[in-house]
Amino acid sequence: MNIFLKEKKIIFGSLLVLFVGVLVWTHFSNDITNKQANTDNIQNKQVDSKDSKKDASGSGAVSNTNLNPNSESKPEPIFYPIDRVVDGDTVAVNMSGDAMLVRIIGIDSPEVDSDYTEQECFGAEASAKLKELLTDKTVRMEYDTNQGMLDKYGRLLAYLFLEDGTNVGGYMIDNGYAREYTFDSLYMYQKEFRDAEHVAREQKLGLWAPDACAKQNEIK
C-alpha cells in the first residue's frame, strides 16, 4: 500500500513538472515570437523610412526641381537690325525683311530738311548722333499701352533699347540731342526723361548750349 502511494506521488509529481515545463516553454516561445515580430516591425519601419528619404532626395527632388517655376527659362528678347535713321527721333527698323518706321516715344529732336519738314536748329547734329549710335546695331522695341501702337502718320510707337541695355531715347535727352516730349498722356519713362532734360539744360549740353544755334535756340 505504501509502495503504491509512493509510486502515485512520483507519477503525479512527474506530471506536474511536465505540465509546468510545458507552460514555461509555451510562454517562452510566445515571448520569442513577439520579440521577433517587434524586431521585424522595427526593421520594416526603418526600411520604409530609408525608402521615403531616398524618394525625397532622389527622384522626388528631381520632380521638385522640374516643377520649380524659377527653373523655367525666360523667352529671349528679340532684337531687330536698324535699316536707317530718318532723324533724331525716328528710325526704320528691319522687321522680317520690311523696313518699319518707328517713332521713339517720349522724345522730340529738331527736324531735318525733308519733303515734309524744314531744317531746324541742331537737327543735323541730332540726326548725326543717332546715326552714330545706331549704325550696324540691333535694337529691342518696347511698347507702351498708354501711347497706342501707331501715331497719326502710321509709324510704330516704341522705346528702343540697345543690346547693352541703353535706352536710346534717354541717351538722346541725356546728351542734349532731344528734349522730353509728352504728346497726349503719361508714358512709362516720363519722369526719367524729364529729369534727364533738366540735367542737360543745367549743364548746357547739345542744343541747350548758348552757342548751339545762331538764329534759333528752341525746338519747335
Cell of 212: 548751339
Catalytic residue among 7, 72, 76, 111: 111
Rounded CA-CA distance 110/89 in Å is 9
Local structure of 85: helix, strand or coil: strand
Catalytic residue among 103, 120, 180, 197: 103
DSSP string spanning 130-168? Answer: HHHHHTT-EEEEE--TTT-SB-TTS-EEEEEEETT--BH
Catalytic residue among 125, 155, 180, 197: 155
Find all residues with CB under 8 Å of 144, minimum gap 6, and list them: 105, 157, 158, 159, 187, 188
Q: Could you tell me which of 88, 102, 127, 107 has the C-alpha nearest to residue 197?
A: 107
Q: Which amino acid is at 74?
A: K
The verdict on whether 111 is a catalytic residue reads: yes
130 exposure class (CB count in 10 Å sphere: 0-12, 13-18, 19+): buried
The verdict on whether 155 is a catalytic residue reads: yes
Residues tagged active-site: 103, 111, 155
